[in-house]
Amino acid sequence: MRKYLVTGGAGFIGSNFVKYLFDTRKDIKVRVLDKLTYSGHRANLKDFEKRPDFEFIKGDICDAQIVQKAMRDVEVVVNFAAESAVDRSIDDPQAFIKTDIFGVYTLLEEARKHPGLKRFIQISTDEVYGHILKGSFTETSELRPRNPYSASKLGGERLAYSFFVTYGLPVIISRASNNYGPRCYPEKVIPLFVTNLIDGLKVPVYGKGRQIRDWLFVRDHCAAVDLLIEKGVNGEVYNIGGQQELSNIELAYRILGLFGKDESLIKFVQDRPGHDFRYSLDCSKIKKLGWRQHHNLNKGLKETVEWYKNNEAWWRPIKKKMDQRYQHGFWGEKK
């Protein structure tokens, strides 16, 4: 029986990963450790709560005692726990330094006391590369993060790498592009647009909407992480991209189209300071292990819109409590 510790498992990607494991694997045990910050929800795990092979621990990855308890007898650690919103990191970086660097350090310190540990997957991000105007980043491209979120994520993943080199910890690092799909906290652009349109509200587009993002359906990401656990090489970094690049304004049009609406529902708002222009990943390394994206953006967006339409009970209470700046433009009205 394989035992997993999934940290940050009550968040968007972590909860999809737990579902992926239970959907695809037999004879496993999954333990989730999550602090339940604003973006973590116990409801994301409700389908598993009664299973005897599932366990939830509420706690902080910066707390060595809780981490020690959570890590007992596990073979695989997958660290999704993080402060994950770029705008919040620009507004107030401290929590990012704590969780995304010190939290990773705490996990690594405990992990090296566990001789039975076979894998430690550190979920990083393509944002550690900075942005790229032409071409795509490979795993050996220069690392030039440009905001406190991506800089702290880089700190965390390089620490993880140093534990591989120095202590022989079986670390693998993944760098994924922008994820979308069910259970994504509605401050992120796709669920923000979708839930606004369900309510007939305008969608706030930063600047002129020219920034380009590469969209990865969350289940494709989960399959990639699962593959890295099985076939990845310790000490290596793997890019995981959707290879579905689109400017934010094109994305707005695409989502408006799914609601049969036009551009009159777009509201241009003040741009994010230092907004990265474009991310793009070369994914040949993970493809050599046998991974493929199964969702193109059209298919993935339709599934996502349907999920939000059918799960209002999930997002309405969250959106009611959400920072209202996301609704109106985090950085204010257009100057």
Ligand X SMILES: NC(=O)c1ccc[n+]([C@@H]2O[C@H](COP(=O)([O-])OP(=O)(O)OC[C@H]3O[C@@H](n4cnc5c(N)ncnc54)[C@H](O)[C@@H]3O)[C@@H](O)[C@H]2O)c1
Residues 81-100, interacting with ligand X (CB under 6 A): 81-84, 99
Binding residue (CB under 6 A) for ligand X from 19, 119, 131, 153: 153
Query: Site for ligand X (CB under 6 A): which residue of 125, 211, 244, 248?
Result: 125
From the list 48-56, 177-185, 283-291, 301-309, the region that binds ligand X by CB under 6 A is: 177-185
Which is closer to ligand X, CB of 13 or CB of 160? 13
- The distance of closest approach from Cβ of residue 187 to ligand X in the complex, given in angstroms and rounded to an integer, is 9
| CA distance linking residue 83 with residue 204, whole number of Å | 23
Shortest distance (Å) from residue 31 CB to ligand X: 13
Task: Tell me whether residue 205 or residue 216 sits nearer to ligand X (CB atom).
Answer: 216
* Binding of ligand X by 123 (CB under 6 A): yes
Non-local (6+) Cβ contacts of 67 within 8 A are 33, 59, 61, 106, 107, 110
What are the phi and psi torsion angles at 256 (to 5°)? -55, -40
Task: For residue 150, state whether it binds ligand X (rule: CB under 6 A).
Answer: no
Range list of β-strands (E), 70-160: 76-79, 119-125
Which residue's CB is nearer to ligand X, number 263 or number 316? 316
- 103 makes contact with ligand X (CB under 6 A): yes
Using the minimum distance from each CB to ligand X, give the nearer residue, 99 or 136.
99
Q: Terminus-to-terminus CA distance in the chain, angstroms?
A: 58
Q: Which two tokens stand for residue 212?
A: 């380009």
CB of 334 to ligand X, least distance (A): 25
Task: Give the whole-angstrom CA distance, residue 315 versus residue 45.
Answer: 15
Q: Is 204 in the site for ligand X (CB under 6 A)?
A: no
The helix (H) or strand (E) run that includes residue 21 is helix 12-24
Using CB under 6 A, which of 5, 62, 77, 203 touches ligand X? 62
User: What is the pairing mode between strands 245-247 and 212-217?
Assistant: antiparallel
Q: What is the DSSP letter of 36?
A: -
Quote the DSSP letter at residue 272: P
Size of the site for ligand X (CB under 6 A): 30
* Helix extents (H) in the chain: 12-24, 64-71, 86-91, 94-97, 104-111, 148-167, 189-198, 218-231, 248-258, 284-288, 297-310, 312-321, 325-328
The C-alpha atoms of residue 145 and residue 131 are separated, in whole angstroms, by: 8
Q: Which is nearer to ligand X, 121 or 305 (CB)?
A: 121
Please identify which residue in 2, 3, 22, 36 interacts with ligand X, judged by CB under 6 A. 36
Residue type, 244: Q
Say how far apart CA 78 and CA 121 lie, in whole Å.
Answer: 5
Which tokens sit at 131? 């942005």
User: Any idea which residues carry the catalytic annotation?
Assistant: 126-127, 149
Scanning 74-82, 195-203, 293-301, 307-315 for contacts with ligand X by CB under 6 A, the matching segment is 74-82
The nearest distance, CB 8 to ligand X, in angstroms, is: 3
List residues binding ligand X (CB under 6 A). 7-8, 10-14, 34-37, 39-40, 60-62, 80-84, 99, 103, 123, 125, 153, 176, 178-179, 185
